[in-house]
Amino acid sequence: MISAGDFRNGVTFEMDGQVLQVVEFQHVKPGKGAAFVRAKVRNVITGGVIETSFNPSAKFENAVIERKSMEYSYADGNLHYFMDNETYELIPIDGELLGDNFKFVKENMVCMIMSYKGKPFAVEPPNFVELEVTKTDPGFAGNTATNATKPATLETGAEVKVPLFISEGERIKIDTRTGEYMERAKG
């Protein structure tokens, strides 16, 4: 159990059947009346943020969010299967729980699976991935002075903007959080 008076940034707790994480908090002691805790909390599962006030003595159940590295195996319809690297068990996860940045994930990549009470609610791909460009317009040498870009299709089917000098068959590094081209892959 945790009381509202013990709130700190990053603390997760359960309230009204929802898993919430403290984003910001402030202990307020007005001149008249009782002290209270003003907090901005984020629903861990839906991502929604609300601002609310708590009595400092209000008690809440601690919520432990489990983060586990699992290897992406394959997709079957709307189900995506991830393998637990310790038990080799395949865990099916509904495609609706995958974010937009999952389009950069290919088979055998290790992702972070977030779950609460054994129920997965989010999949976090690696921050940076190296993928091959499968389709783009021909590259041109000497076009590095401007920040001009062109569309390119990657081996996962995702489309990104790349500099004009990138050509088909090259491996590039992508930031999955922003979907932006970072650099040519080394090696």
Write the DSSP assignment of 90-135 as a string of letters: EEEEEGGGB-GGGGG--TT-EEEEEEETTEEEEEE--SEEEEEEEE
pLDDT at 40: 92
Whether 47 and 84 share a structural domain: no
Please count the other Cβ atoms lying within 10 Å of the Cβ belonging to residue 90: 13
pLDDT at 184: 86
> pLDDT truncated to tens, each residue of the chain (187 aa)?
888 888 888 888 998 888 898 989 998 888 888 889 999 998 888 778 999 999 989 999 988 888 899 999 998 888 999 999 899 999 998 888 887 888 898 999 999 998 888 888 888 899 999 999 999 888 666 555 567 888 899 998 889 998 888 888 889 999 988 888 888 888 6
Whether 50 and 78 share a structural domain: no
Whether 114 and 85 share a structural domain: yes
Segment holding 65, helix H or strand E = strand 65-76
Domain end call among 83, 107, 124: 124
How many domains does the structure of the chain reveal? 3
Q: Residue 92 is encoded by which pair of tokens?
A: 């099916």
Whether 51 and 90 share a structural domain: no
Q: What CATH number is attached to the domain comprising 179?
A: 2.40.50.140
Whether 117 and 132 share a structural domain: no
**Are the beta carbons of 91 and 145 closer than 8 angstroms?**
no
**Are the beta carbons of 33 and 43 closer than 8 angstroms?**
no
Whether 6 and 58 share a structural domain: yes
pLDDT at 173: 93
Residue 82 burial by Cβ neighbours in a 10 Å radius (0-12, 13-18, 19+): buried
Calpha distance 21→131 (Å, rounded): 34
pTM of the model: 0.72
Provide the domain limits for residue 9: 2-62
Residues whose CB is less than 8 angstroms from the CB of residue 76 and which lie 6 or more positions away in sequence, other chains included: none
Whether 115 and 155 share a structural domain: no
